[in-house]
């Protein structure tokens, strides 16, 4: 479980096929190696993956995770290459501050950045999400984009917009986003479960 507050931006430094559609990714990060346990859950741009190995390379901490075929197919992980920058978040601990909103790290799909409007030190992003997800996105509601907890501003039939503050632009990979960029999207858990309850009434 996560809160959508990025704690580091990692970099993919190796991608290795593992057979059966599995792909091993090695990530360089700013975390201390002794703070990362084998089996730990870390969200990578909104995708929760399990640490299978740790190490050091070029003076940086590294860790490796395995992405299964389903993850590669349904998220942007299938397009991650050496040099890809990823928003990282460690799993929530009891007593941690809930600074964003409850995020599971299970992406619901992929959204595409349709337009970016750069304002004074901020940016307004307009995204196009898969139609089945649009009904779960509401103005003033929460959404996670590439693992970052954001508040929805406006919603149309097939797009929604968010406003990115200076701090978020500076400390996440969202600052480099441009039209055409794809992002993992996770809708609010409450919206997802409410919709499911209504469907089964």
Which residues are designated catalytic? 2, 41, 48, 50, 68, 106, 151
Under DSSP, the state recorded for 109 is E
Cross-strand pairs, 85: 11
- Which has the closest alpha carbon to 134: 110, 158, 112? 158
Residues in contact with 170: Cβ distance below 8 Å, sequence separation at least 6, in sequence order: none
CA dihedral 180, 186, 190, 192 (to 10 degrees): 80
User: How far, in Å, CA of 117 to CA of 100, rounded?
Assistant: 23
**31-35 long-range Cβ contacts below 8 angstroms, 24+ apart:** 31/61, 31/63, 31/88, 31/90, 32/61, 33/61
Residues in contact with 129: Cβ distance below 8 Å, sequence separation at least 6, in sequence order: 109, 111, 137, 158, 159, 160, 185
Q: Which two tokens stand for residue 48?
A: 């929760």
């Amino acid at each position: 479980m996560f809160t959508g507050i990025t704690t580091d931006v990692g970099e993919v430094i190796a991608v290795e096929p593992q057979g059966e559609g599995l792909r091993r990714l090695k990530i360089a990060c700013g975390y201390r190696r002794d703070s990362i346990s084998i089996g730990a859950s870390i969200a990578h741009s909104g995708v929760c993956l399990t640490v299978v190995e740790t190490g050091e390379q070029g003076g940086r901490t590294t860790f490796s995770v395995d992405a299964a075929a389903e993850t590669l197919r349904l998220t942007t992980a299938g397009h991650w290459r050496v040099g890809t920058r990823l928003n990282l978040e460690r799993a929530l601990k009891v007593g941690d501050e809930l600074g964003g909103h409850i995020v599971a790290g299970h992406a619901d799909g992929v959204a595409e950045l349709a337009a970016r409007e750069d304002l004074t030190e901020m940016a307004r992003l307009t995204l196009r999400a898969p139609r089945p997800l649009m009904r779960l996105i509401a103005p003033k509601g929460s959404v996670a984009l590439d693992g970052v907890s954001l508040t929805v501003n406006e919603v149309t039939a097939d797009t929604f917009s968010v406003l990115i503050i200076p701090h978020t632009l500076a400390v996440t990979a969202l600052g480099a986003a441009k039209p055409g960029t794809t992002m993992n999207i996770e809708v609010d858990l409450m919206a997802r479960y409410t919709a499911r309850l209504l469907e089964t009434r």
